[in-house]
Amino acid sequence: MNRNNKIAIIGLGYVGLPLAHAFSFKYEVIGLDINQDRIDELKNGFDRTKELNETQVKEAIKNGMKFTTNIEDTKNCNIFIVTVPTPINSENEPDLTPLIKSSATVAKVLKKDDIVIYESTVYPGVTEEVCVPELEKYSGLTFNEDFYCGYSPERINPGDKTHTVTKILKITSGSTPQIAQKVDELYKNIITAGTHLAPSIKVAEAAKVIENTQRDVNIALMNELAQIFDTMDIDTNAVLEAAGTKWNFIKLTPGLVGGHCIGVDPYYLTHKAQSLGYTPNLILGARQINNSMSQLIAQKAIKYMVKSDIKLKGADVLILGVTFKENCPDMRNTKVTDILKELKEFECNVDIYDPWVDKSDLDAKDLPFVDNSILETKKYDSIIVAVAHDEFKQFSMDDYQKLSKSNPIIIDVKGIVSNPTWRL
């Protein structure tokens, strides 16, 4: 592999920044993002996603990495790696706008023999059927003659400091056999866990989208079992612990399914399947179950407040945690906000406390944030433990009692409270 390759990383979020950091030890790297505030923060060594600490960001800068919002600064690069988000719209349909726009942007500086590699999660066919036409249109170059493409799906687990980018086996692929080998060798230089060279871009795209679809379906089963056992007055966690003693039982737990992957990726696959005339009932059913869990949790809080003769209108409810998972500041597609919305329908006063999220981020989403000073004085009718941050795992029943107006009504979503009123 040519060590003189110059790499441009397009999109410096949870995926792009750690990848850029890893590549900076081997190659000249330029990181591009459309958010000027993000670029300014990174230049000062601050990563608000907390995927990299200050030392690591400055380490990348010391290695020669540059941050920019101007695509012209990448014109001398010959490898472009696109790591932009692939969200869904309000109708749960894929929104490929960031991918299309980034492809058009890269095309402005695309040169002969350059390689464009996509890491964003998509349905099979997007790279060659959606992105490549944009690259050709705005560059005037011909695919697989003048420039080439690869696909190597991201497998970042936000907040996970063990399974970091270089320690997760990487799927690679390319638009020709020769380019596939080049893409594979490129990643082999930084991925200590190794690579798996897929036979085609479409295979690599499909492999990625089913990873999170499989997990979504499995969690949906746990969520449905939790609802069944709740009607039977059986402890779901006790059932799962007992069943988990069998060697081949898949150990998963019920809960909220949010984030930018598990709660989104299945819709990419179902969209493509339905466009071809196939209705993926199991996958869609799993999505319906998982999306309903926020309403169930809110209704449990309402039920126990009613049983305690607490007037719902004006009732004070505290939600502990708003991120989509524990020990990370990522609020993308969090289902905690759906709990908030449901409680607001009953005119409850709801506060959110999350030590992992900046107040400015909550204010931007118009979420009712409270800090430690308020928690020291305010009392609540009900507390919903929605996220298993390490800080919340340290809470004792005395701590919950201090937060409550009388006997604490505690709705435990994550199974971290010793004696909750109700546990999912």
As annotated, the active-site residues are 261
The residue type of 103 is S
The answer to whether residues 111 and 76 touch, using CB atoms and an 8 Å cutoff, is no
Q: Is 112 exposed, middle or buried (0-12, 13-18, 19+ CB in 10 A)?
A: exposed
What is the residue-wise DSSP string for 323-355?
SSSTTS---TT-SHHHHHHHHHHTT-EEEEE-T
Residue entry with tokens 């604490």: 408
What is the residue-wise DSSP string for 298-327?
HHHHHHHHHHTT--STT-EEEEE--SSSTT
DSSP 26: T
User: How is residue 172 written in tokens?
Assistant: 């690679």
User: How is residue 398 written in tokens?
Assistant: 């005395």
Q: What angle do CA 398, 403, 406 make, to 5 degrees?
A: 85
Q: What angle do CA 181, 187, 190 make, to 5 degrees?
A: 145
